Amino acid sequence: MRFYLDHAATTPLRRAAREAWLTASATVGNASSTHGAGQDARRMLEESRERTAAVLGCDPIEIVFTSGGTESINTALRGLWMSRRAEADAVVLPDAEHHATMDTVSALARDGADVRAVPVDVLGRIDMVRFAEAAQDAAVATALVAGNESGTVNDAAQLGRITADAGIPLHLDAVAACGHLPLSFRKLRGAAPEAAGLVAMSVAGHKIGAPVGTGALVVARTARMTPLLHGGSQQRGLRAGTQDVPGAAAFAAALEEAEAERESETARLRSLRDRLVEGVRAAVPEAELLGDPVNRLPGNAHMLFPGAVGESLLFVLDMAGIAASTGSACQAGVAEPSHVVMAMGRTERDARSVLRFTLGRTSTDADVDAVIAVIADAYARASGR
C-alpha cells in the first residue's frame, strides 16, 4: 500500500477537471478561427478565462493561460526585465526562491542583469527592510507568496506596497500558495501606480488538481511586458500560439473547486499536519520543524532530521510505501543541499538532512499514521544509529 505525502510536487487530478477537459476536447475548432466551430471554442475559452479571473480576483483580460508555473515565471520575469532594461537592469531576488525563478534570473544575469539578493530570516521570511533597499532603482522584483519548501507565508501585500513606493514592477510566485491561501490580485495590487507594484502573479494547474501542463499568469492591464513568444496576437500578444481550450477549461474547473473547499480544507490539513509533526517529534526527538511554526501553508511539514542523509531517509520511507520529498520536485534526483535551508542560516549538513511532507485533499489519518509508525526506524537506518 502506498501513502502519498508529496502533494506540493503534484496532486491528483480532480474529477471535475478531467470531465471539463474531456468535454472541451470533444469540441472541434481553433479559438482564433472566425467560423462557427472556432467561435464555439472561443466561447469556451473565454468562459474559462472569466471563471479563472473570478477566483484570482482580476479582470478576465489579465489572465494569460500558460503551460504551468515555470513558463509563467519565465514570461513574467524575462518580459518585465526586457521591457525596462534600457532604464534599469537590477533584479531583486530573495534567497529562498524556487529554482524556476532562480534559474530564470541567472539567465537574465548572463544577459546583463544585476542581481540584488535579499536575505530571509531563520524562519524563511523575506527581510522587508533589505527588500525595500534592494528595490530602489531596480528593473523588477520577484518573491514567493509562500515558500515551496519551508511553507512559510510572506506578507505579499507589504511586498506590493514596497515596490509600488519604489516605482518598480513586482512578480509574485503564487504556485505553492494557490488553493491554500486567499489570492486576490486586485486586492494585493491596491492603488499601485500603473506599471509599478504588483503587476504579475504566477499559478500552476497540477498543484491544485488540474492536468500537468496547465497554468496561468495574471498580468495587470497596465504592465509593460515584452513577450517571449512571437507568431500571433493571442492573449494580448503576451503568449503567441494556438490556445489550449481543454487545458483552460480543466484549469478553471480545478481552481473553482479548490477555492470552494479552501477554508474547510485548510482546517482539516492543518490538523493532520500538526498531528504528523507531533507524532514524528515524539518518535524522533531530534527532529525539528523548519519554517514559520504558525504562518505557514496548512499541509506543509518541512522537517530536519539531524545526522541523517535526506536521500537515504527518503529511500527507506519509499521502501515502506511512503512518498515524500527532500525539497522541490524540480530538483528531484539531484544530490545537492537545499539552498532554502542554507538561506535560513543552517549548515550544509543540515541542508542535506531535510524532508518535506506535504498533505493534500486526498490525505487521511492513515497517511499520517504510516509515517509515524516507521519514522523512528527509518531515521535510525538513515543516520547509522
Query: Which residues are known catalytic residues?
Result: 330
Please work out, in degrees rounded to the nearest 5, the angle formed at the alpha carbon of residue 72 by the alpha carbons of 105 and 247. Answer: 155
**DSSP H helix total and E strand total for the chain:** 13, 12
Residue among 13, 5, 11, 14 nearest 359 (CA):
5
Q: Output helix, strand, coil percentages for the chain, rounded to the nearest 5.
A: 45, 15, 40
Residue among 35, 90, 100, 113 nearest 66 (CA):
100
Residue among 289, 294, 309 nearest 385 (CA):
309
Count CB-CB contacts under 10 A for residue 55: 20
Count CB-CB contacts under 10 A for residue 13: 17
**Whether the Cβ atoms of residue 181 and residue 175 lie closer than 8 Å to each other:** no
Q: Three cell numbers at 212? A: 500537468
The helix-helix angle for 36-56 and 245-260 (nearest 10°) equals 30
Distance, in Å, from the CA atom of 20 to the CA atom of 251, rounded to the nearest integer, reads: 9
**Whether the Cβ atoms of residue 241 and residue 232 lie closer than 8 Å to each other:** yes
DSSP class of residue 204?
Answer: E
Report the amino acid identity of residue 201: M
